[in-house]
């Protein structure tokens, strides 16, 4: 297959929703163009803004950090240690190695050491699913660390698949509050820094391809806490649609952003005030992060008095889906 742009090189990646296939050089140009388009069209930040990139050691966040540095932005990384055994340590090492190789600033915050909120333990001691506790803690720290270090913009590596899966989940449960706040840009508000998603125009497969082509050493293994997460199911369903009808994910998300989100936005205005304990903005007397810390610190109830998730969280891996079962014999290779 030839590159549909330069027509001289062999293609390395198809982008079916654009009816295109690109060689390495043309794909990297396409990727940068999509990021620039997102930044400029959505007015995410200006050329002289300092940007704090939330990095996890995964493909999306390191690809984002890489492309912003490559485009000439002053971008520092923020890594949050989540205390996930066997996963957090190698993730942090990937971020540190990337920062060293690019001579970039990396801020490291350890959730377990500094706040007593390692995700595995938090999930065990509260009724929250690990991904929920993780998301809540990260959102809190993104804002707090950005303010503490003088950054007005936090960039996250959410891609088109992430956003489409989130949209599907929010629609299935008619989460109108979340629908109102799902956008590539969440503007600066009283005590809240601006949050932006410069990769929202790019599919997950494209951010992975960018990371491979740019030689970024990222953590390929999935977070063990996310096994069985609903987001994986939603992504799988959307990819089934995408396979039959390329462009479905993009039209689903972009159509929502253009046509439907403003309707939710008008009806879901909220008032923020400082948390009574930490001072971070919240809609309740105590912010969700302080409530989580309180819940984790609370003495545990005796077992059996309340129905909750087994203490052996995280949940195990999901049963293989029929579509993933090999239909040809697989012979293990001696290594």
Partner 1 sequence: MKVILRHPERREVAIEGRRRVGELLRELGLQPEAYLVIRGNRLLTRDAQLEDTDTVEIRPVISGGATRQER
> What residues make contact with partner 1 under the rule CB under 8 A?
1, 11-14, 21, 24, 58-60, 131-132, 134-135, 139, 158, 161-162, 165-166, 169-170, 175, 177-178, 181-182, 186, 189, 192, 195, 203-205, 207-209, 212-213, 220-223, 226-227, 229-232, 234-236, 239-240, 242-243, 281, 317, 322-328, 330-333, 335
CB closer to partner 1, 98 vs 140: 140
CB of 48 to partner 1, least distance (A): 25
CB closer to partner 1, 178 vs 254: 178
CB of 242 to partner 1, least distance (A): 5
CA angle at 38 for the pair 41 and 179, rounded to the nearest 5°: 95
CB of 264 to partner 1, least distance (A): 14
CB of 245 to partner 1, least distance (A): 12
CB closer to partner 1, 195 vs 293: 195
CB closer to partner 1, 2 vs 298: 2
Going 51 to 167 to 255 to 33, the CA torsion angle's sign is positive
CB closer to partner 1, 111 vs 134: 134
Q: Distance between CA 291 and CA 295 in Å, rounded?
A: 6
Exposure string over 122-147, b if 16+ CB within 10 A, otherwise e: bbbbbebbbbbbbebbbbbbbbbbbb
Contacts of 207 (CB under 8 A, 6+ apart): 59, 60, 63, 64, 157, 159, 199
CB closer to partner 1, 262 vs 316: 316
Closest CA to 138 of 58, 54, 44, 63: 54
Dihedral of CA atoms 182, 200, 136, 232 in degrees, nearest 10, equals 100
CB of 304 to partner 1, least distance (A): 29
CA distances from 263 to 181, 258, 267 (A): 11, 10, 7
CB of 325 to partner 1, least distance (A): 6
């Amino acid at each position: 297959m030839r590159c549909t742009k330069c027509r001289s090189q062999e293609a390395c990646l198809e982008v079916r929703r654009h009816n295109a296939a690109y060689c390495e050089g043309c794909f990297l140009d396409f990727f940068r163009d999509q990021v620039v388009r997102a930044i400029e069209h959505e007015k995410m930040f200006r050329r002289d803004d300092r940007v704090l990139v939330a990095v996890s050691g995964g493909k999306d966040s390191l690809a984002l950090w890489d492309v912003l540095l490559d485009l000439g932005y002053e971008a520092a990384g923020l890594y949050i240690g989540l205390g996930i055994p066997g996963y957090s340590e190698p993730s942090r090492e990937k971020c540190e190695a990337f920062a060293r190789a690019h001579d970039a600033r990396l801020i490291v915050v350890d959730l377990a050491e500094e706040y007593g909120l390692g995700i595995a333990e938090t999930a065990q001691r509260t009724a929250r699913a690990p991904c929920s506790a993780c998301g809540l803690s990260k959102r809190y720290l993104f804002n707090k660390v950005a303010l503490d270090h003088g950054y007005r913009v936090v960039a996250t590596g959410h891609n088109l698949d992430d956003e489409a899966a989130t949209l599907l989940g929010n629609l299935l449960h008619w989460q109108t509050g979340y629908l109102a706040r799902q956008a590539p840009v969440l503007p600066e508000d009283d005590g809240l820094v601006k949050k932006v998603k410069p990769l929202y125009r790019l599919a997950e497969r494209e951010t992975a391809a960018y990371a491979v082509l740019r030689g970024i050493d990222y953590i390929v293994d999935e977070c063990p806490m996310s096994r069985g997460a609903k987001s994986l199911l939603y992504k799988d369903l959307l990819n089934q649609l995408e396979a039959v009808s390329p462009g479905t994910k993009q039209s689903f998300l972009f159509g929502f952003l253009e046509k439907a989100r403003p309707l939710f936005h008008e009806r879901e205005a909220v008032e923020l005030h400082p948390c009574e304990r930490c001072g971070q903005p919240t809609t309740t007397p105590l912010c969700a992060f302080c409530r989580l810390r309180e819940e984790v610190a609370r003495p545990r109830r005796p077992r059996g008095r309340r129905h909750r998730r087994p203490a052996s969280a995280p949940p195990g891996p999901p049963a293989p889906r029929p579509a993933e079962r090999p239909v040809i014999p697989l012979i293990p290779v001696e290594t």
